[in-house]
Amino acid sequence: MTGHFLNLSDAGADAIAAMINDAIDRKAARAGWPKGKTDADVPLAGHTLGMIFEKNSTRTRASFEMAIKQLGGDSMFMASGQMQLGRGETIADTARVLSRYVDAIMIRTDDHAKIEELASYASVPVINGLTDLSHPCQIVADLLTLIEHGKALPGLEVAWLGDGNNVLNSIVEAAGLMKFNVRIGVPQGYDSDPAFIDAARANGAKITITRDAAEAVAGADVVVTDTWVSMGQDHAHNKIAAMMPYQVDERLMAGAKPNAKFLHCLPAHRGEEATDGVLDGPQSVIWDEAENRLHAQKSVLLWCFGLLG
Ligand code: CP
Ligand code: NVA
């Protein structure tokens, strides 16, 4: 199906499973190749991805650039501050114009309503490279990483610690689609979006909220955290203080299953949401997770162009 990828539900469970399978196959097929070499079938030859960034990025920018390159296409990077968008041209007009130049648009922005508006005026697929509400591309990579590390998604117990943010919203959305459970350990006042929780529960996922970090991780298969201060937020002293009991350190990690994996979308704020001992420890799969952004992005692109699922 051709379409926008603003949230995981835009694709649905079958397409997400197809994305993960295709990513596994493509990753294996090019093992050991130079990273700039195109996949043998060059499925997106002649296609250009426009990428608008209203916020900083390392992984999302680099992985999308290399993803479209490996699929045989090209990318165009646009920092919003250097675009007319940054001095008042509307989202709608930007969407109409860019649709005449590029074959798909990826945008990283703040207000999710902006990406919805862009998608409604674009005549090419629009991809969510992170908004304040959600980060679906990250979660395709996370699910791929867990499967690679031997975890079956149905019934998996995933513990989230820290801030109830955009990454958590997409994990909760994925839980409903892929039938795993999420124990959310966040301090009072920093809960995630209830609409994602309600939808996941309606889809059969068990989503529990606790203020007790140890209870959240007890017997978990996966422990996940993210920065306590997302882009656009203040590094507020009272927020950091509220988050401290939810720091993932070796002691907390020891409460999960012995074969539990640790995920972090990165960038990490070492010594805040997670300690070096956990980030660099034996249960951490964060570098595979970061690499998998590339492989997952390729699947997202192929789905948007109707070549998958
Ligand atoms: N995880 C992630 O989206 O990283 P970047 O902010 O570097 O793109
Ligand atoms: N929650 C973080 C994720 C960064 C990839 C943020 O929005 O800044």
pLDDT, position 231 = 97
Q: pLDDT grade, residue 1 (50/70/90)?
A: very low
8 Å CB contact between 78 and 110: no
Q: Nearest ligand to the C-alpha of residue 131? A: 2
Mean pLDDT of 128-136: 98
Region of 39 (left: φ > 0; alpha: ψ -120 to 50; beta: rest) is beta
Q: Which of 52, 54, 56, 58 to mutate to test the pocket of ligand 1 (most atoms within 8 A of CB)?
A: 58
pLDDT more than 70, % of the chain: 99
70 is catalytic: no
Q: What is the pTM of this model?
A: 0.98
pLDDT, position 266 = 98
pLDDT per residue as tens digits for the range 71-84: 999 999 999 999 99
- The yes-or-no verdict on residue 309 having pLDDT over 90 is no
pLDDT per residue as tens digits for the range 229-256: 999 999 999 999 999 999 999 999 999 9
Q: Nearest ligand to the C-alpha of residue 231? A: 2
Q: Cα(122)–Cα(140) distance, rounded to whole angstroms? A: 24
pLDDT more than 90, % of the chain: 98
Q: Cα(198)–Cα(173) distance, rounded to whole angstroms? A: 9
293 is catalytic: yes
CATH architecture entry for 8-135+293-304:
3-Layer(aba) Sandwich (3.40)
138 is catalytic: yes
Compute the mean pLDDT over every residue in the chain, rounded to the nearest whole number.
97
Ligand 1 atom 7 nearest Cα? 58
269 is catalytic: no
- The yes-or-no verdict on residue 113 having pLDDT over 50 is yes
pLDDT, position 77 = 98
Ligand 1 atom 3 nearest Cα? 60
Q: Which of 47, 59, 135, 264 is catalytic?
A: 135
241's tokens: 């203080």
Question: Which residues touch 58 (CB under 8 Å, ≥6 apart)?
Answer: 266, 267
Q: Where are the domains of the chain?
A: 8-135+293-304, 150-284
Q: Taking the CA atoms of 165, 171, 193 and 215 in sequence, report the sign of the dihedral they define.
A: negative
On the question of a common fold for 8-135+293-304 and 150-284, the answer reads yes
pLDDT per residue as tens digits for the range 186-228: 999 999 999 999 999 999 999 999 999 999 999 999 999 999 9
Q: Which of 54, 57, 231 to mutate to test the pocket of ligand 1 (most atoms within 8 A of CB)?
A: 57
Q: Nearest ligand to the C-alpha of residue 165? A: 2
pLDDT, position 4 = 98
Ligand 1 atom 6 nearest Cα? 57
pLDDT per residue as tens digits for the range 163-188: 999 999 999 999 999 999 999 999 99
pLDDT, position 25 = 98
Q: Cα(215)–Cα(233) distance, rounded to whole angstroms? A: 28
pLDDT, position 226 = 98
226 is catalytic: yes
The domain made up of 150-284 has a fold known as Rossmann fold (3.40.50)
Question: Which residues touch 106 (CB under 8 Å, ≥6 apart)?
Answer: 49, 50, 51, 52, 60, 64, 126, 127, 128, 129
267 CA distance to ligand 1 middle (Å): 6
Q: Cα(245)–Cα(211) distance, rounded to whole angstroms? A: 9
